[in-house]
Amino acid sequence: MSRIGKQPVTLPDGVSATVSGQTIEVKGPLGTKSYTATDDVTLTVEDGVVTVTPRGSSKRARQQWGMTRTVVANLVQGTKENFKKELEIRGVGYRAQVQGNVVKLNLGLSHDVDFEVPEGVTVTAPKQTELVVEGTDKQLVGQVAANIRDWRRPEPYKGKGIRYKGEYIFQKEGKKK
């Protein structure tokens, strides 16, 4: 039995949801989001609560049960408030600046990296060594943050690179004479 799938998703004030077939549409102050679930689960909306139930007891139905409930919960939260990922840039001369929808990264490469920010996500740079990725789609925010981080992952000797805020990087000991 799915522990996550059993929990109903409550709709906060200002957020409404409608189900038509296997598609759920959530409307809130930050916009409208929709998700089409697989045929392995059933979606119902009653009295401001969205419930997800599996159809049958197959392995796939149980897998989709918890995943669908989590996606619906993220839709509800995303229409109410933005998701946020914070990145830190560490290293001598490493910096970032935002110009429109392009993030210019200076990461010690032979060239500057111009990262194009997709629609639906905003990236801000409160400092030259910090980036904040925000948006209403949790998956897209996480993917954009991961794509930016992939340009220079933190290395284990000096810790230089782009890391998530609060991320712990295990420091290795250097060579000994």
Calpha distance 83→139 (Å, rounded): 9
pLDDT at res. 1: 64
| Token pair recorded at residue 100 | 């429109």
- Domain range for residue 132? 83-164
My answer on whether 63 and 89 are in the same domain is: no
User: Are residues 162 and 153 in contact, defined by beta-carbon separation less than 8 angstroms?
Assistant: yes
Calpha distance 92→123 (Å, rounded): 22
My answer on whether 76 and 94 are in the same domain is: no
pTM to 2 decimal places = 0.87
DSSP state letter for 170? P
Q: What percent of the chain has pLDDT over 70?
A: 99
Helix (H) or strand (E) holding 23: strand 23-28
**Does residue 174 belong to any structural domain of this protein?**
no
> If you average pLDDT over every residue of the chain, what do you get?
93
Indicate the residue among 80, 104, 129 that finishes a domain: 80
